[in-house]
């Protein structure tokens, strides 16, 4: 039986798994020997050389048990933690290489919940793997003891065990499949739960919406529970079946066999104690199976997510730190030449086409992109900045086509504040920034009494939406990139700030050599731009 879980630990960790499993198996053997030797020792109270030998063996078995357990648990936990840390790091690094479209499609869908939930399950599963193995080893030792004490009973137990095992294995595989189905449903539940948290204000204000969401959440939770419920039921059935069959066996041994086979009466006590001795590990093993099935499903889910992210990377190699020389710091012009992009819906139908565009922006320009809502301004920016690869045509930097292999470096030209900007907790990548410079910008933006900059972060970010947008603007400016893109940064700011933004801040940025591209609806300030680019229905019209 091939276990994806064991394969996962083996593949993802440097620590060899075999010695860990071996140590746990030996620990199980040690436990079995301790119990068997105690049984043998109890047979006679006389001090004989035989009893002394048993005592020595008992101490050795105890050492085997304790030593094996320590080695196995320490090694096992270390291997599973290392494996998970490696997979989490790999997945997050690969996600950074994935297409923006893929992340946009799944951002609110709960698709990334396996990273949190499944990794926890896999971490916990190591304990179940090890104790399951220990139970099997213990079962094997007790069987040997039984074979020695009562070969007939051993034969009977082996027969029963052989008849039971295929059913347990079949159920184990079925449980793995059903747990995966349940995980998918759970992802949908967490997706909706994320929406609830983000849209909490709206939900709070509207009873009908709140009730509908509640009903949807309950339905999704129930759908996730249904397959898991079946798995749980079957595991209880399995447990009942495997222990029940042993009780039947006991019944046969104690009440039936002696009637037909009188000599069996002499060994009945021994047989009885060894069968009872076997029941513990077997029951323990049966209880670990559902947990292992869940972890197997979690591994499959995690690798499926990785394959999906990998596909969204389109064969791009894992990113190594970009050499500073690869980052274009100086340019003369960037442009779109016949470049177009489109969105599709779930059925693959095109829902919006941006382009084809002919556009060139020169170094030092202050350009405004204008147009109605949904005209395609943000999409054009994503195309221009290399966040979306053109589906047709090309993006050029100083006349050179930007290829898949140079797109990462090309993107380094830009710092951007999008309309749906995100403020990270720390100013990642700005560790060397001059604190006095940050303070100066906080003053310029009228935020000096609202927050401070310390230890690589703004001390207080629970500000109004527009104040947060000003912080995002500061971060973009501090990045000091050749091109700064500001998507509707000023649209909802107060009139005085808006005036300063268009009349003072933008010219200041241009004066220090930054090319500035601004998306704006503020027609009162269109005169500030060197050039207007007007969009309508995804096309540049002027």
Using CB under 6 A as the criterion, which residues of the chain lie in contact with ligand ATP when the complex forms? 104, 343, 351-352, 371, 373-379, 419
485 forms bridges with which residues in the sheet? 416, 517
Q: How far is the CB of 351 from ligand ATP (least distance, A)?
A: 6
If the CB atoms of residues 479 and 534 are measured against ligand ATP, the closer one turns out to be: 534
E-strand ranges in 321-391 read 333-344, 350-362, 366-370
If the CB atoms of residues 331 and 352 are measured against ligand ATP, the closer one turns out to be: 352
If the CB atoms of residues 110 and 371 are measured against ligand ATP, the closer one turns out to be: 371
282 DSSP 8-state letter: H
Q: How far is the CB of 420 from ligand ATP (least distance, A)?
A: 9
Q: How far is the CB of 488 from ligand ATP (least distance, A)?
A: 7
| Calpha distance 190→281 (Å, rounded) | 37
Q: How far is the CB of 390 from ligand ATP (least distance, A)?
A: 15
If the CB atoms of residues 353 and 423 are measured against ligand ATP, the closer one turns out to be: 353
If the CB atoms of residues 214 and 419 are measured against ligand ATP, the closer one turns out to be: 419
Whether residue 72 contacts residue 27, with contact meaning beta carbons closer than 8 Å, is answered with yes
Q: How far is the CB of 112 from ligand ATP (least distance, A)?
A: 17
| Calpha distance 286→296 (Å, rounded) | 16
Q: How far is the CB of 171 from ligand ATP (least distance, A)?
A: 43
The order of strands in the sheet holding 400-401 is 350-362, 333-344, 392-397, 400-401
If the CB atoms of residues 12 and 488 are measured against ligand ATP, the closer one turns out to be: 488
Q: How far is the CB of 373 from ligand ATP (least distance, A)?
A: 4
Q: Is 5 helix (H, G, I), strand (E, B) or coil?
A: helix
With a CB cutoff of 8 Å and minimum separation 6, the contacts of 375 are 535, 536, 537, 538
If the CB atoms of residues 242 and 385 are measured against ligand ATP, the closer one turns out to be: 385
Burial code (b: 16+ CB inside 10 Å, e: under 16) for 190-226 equals bbbbbbbeeeeeebeeeeeeeeebeeebeebbebbee
Q: How far is the CB of 23 from ligand ATP (least distance, A)?
A: 52
If the CB atoms of residues 319 and 344 are measured against ligand ATP, the closer one turns out to be: 344
Q: Kindly give the pairing relationship between strand 350-362 and strand 333-344.
A: antiparallel
DSSP per-residue codes, 213-268: HHHHHHHHHHHHHHHHHHHHHHHHHHHHHHHHHHHHHHHIIIIIHHHH-TTHHHHH
């Amino acid at each position: 039986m091939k276990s994806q879980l064991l394969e996962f630990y083996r593949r993802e960790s440097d620590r060899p798994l075999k010695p860990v499993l071996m140590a746990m198996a030996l620990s199980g053997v040690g436990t079995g020997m301790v119990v068997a030797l105690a049984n043998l020792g109890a047979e006679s109270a006389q001090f004989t050389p035989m009893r002394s030998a048993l005592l020595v063996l008992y101490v050795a078995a105890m050492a085997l048990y304790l030593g094996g357990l320590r080695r196995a648990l320490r090694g096992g936990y270390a291997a599973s933690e290392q494996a998970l840390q490696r997979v989490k790091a790999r997945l997050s690094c690969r996600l950074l290489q994935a297409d923006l479209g893929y992340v946009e499609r799944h951002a609110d869908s709960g698709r990334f919940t396996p990273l949190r939930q499944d990794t926890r399950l896999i971490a916990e599963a190591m304990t179940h793997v090890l104790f399951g193995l220990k139970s099997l080893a213990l079962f094997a030792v007790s069987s040997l003891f039984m074979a020695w004490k009562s070969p007939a009973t051993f034969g009977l137990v082996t027969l029963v065990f052989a008849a039971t095992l295929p059913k347990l294995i079949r159920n184990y595989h079925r449980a793995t499949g059903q747990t995966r189905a349940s995980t998918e449903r759970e992802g949908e539940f967490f997706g909706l739960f994320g929406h609830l948290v983000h849209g909490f204000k709206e939900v709070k204000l509207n009873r009908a919406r709140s009730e509908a969401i509640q009903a949807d959440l309950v339905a999704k939770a129930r759908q996730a529970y249904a397959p898991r419920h079946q798995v749980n039921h079957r595991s209880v059935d399995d447990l009942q079946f495997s222990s029940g069959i042993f009780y039947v066996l006991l019944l046969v041994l104690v009440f039936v066999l002696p009637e037909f086979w009188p000599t069996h009466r002499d060994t009945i006590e021994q047989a009885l104690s060894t069968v009872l001795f076997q029941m513990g590990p077997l029951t323990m093993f049966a209880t670990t199976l559902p947990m292992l099935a869940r972890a197997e499903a979690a591994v499959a889910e995690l690798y499926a997510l990785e394959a999906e992210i990998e596909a969204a990377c389109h064969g791009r190699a894992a990113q190594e730190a970009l050499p500073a020389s690869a980052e274009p710091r100086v340019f003369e012009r960037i442009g779109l030449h016949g470049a177009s992009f489109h969105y599709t819906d779930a059925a693959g139908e095109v829902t919006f086409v941006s382009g084809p565009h002919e556009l060139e922006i020169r170094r030092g320009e202050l350009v405004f992109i204008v147009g109605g809502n949904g005209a395609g301004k943000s999409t054009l920016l994503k195309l221009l900045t290399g966040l979306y690869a053109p589906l047709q045509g090309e993006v050029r930097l100083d006349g050179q086509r930007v290829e898949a292999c140079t797109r990462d470096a090309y993107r380094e030209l830009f710092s951007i504040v999008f309309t749906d900007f995100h403020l990270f907790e720390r100013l990642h990548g700005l560790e060397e920034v001059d604190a006095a410079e940050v303070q100066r910008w906080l003053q310029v933006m009228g935020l000096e009494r609202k927050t401070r900059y310390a230890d690589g972060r703004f001390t207080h970010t629970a500000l109004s939406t527009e104040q947060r947008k000003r912080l995002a603007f500061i971060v973009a400016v501090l990045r000091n990139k050749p091109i700064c893109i500001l998507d509707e940064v000023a649209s909802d700011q107060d009139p005085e700030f808006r005036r300063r933004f268009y009349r003072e801040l933008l010219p200041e940025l241009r004066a220090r050599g930054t090319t500035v591209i601004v998306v704006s609806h503020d027609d009162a300030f269109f005169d500030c731009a060197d050039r207007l680019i007007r969009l309508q229905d995804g096309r540049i019209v002027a």
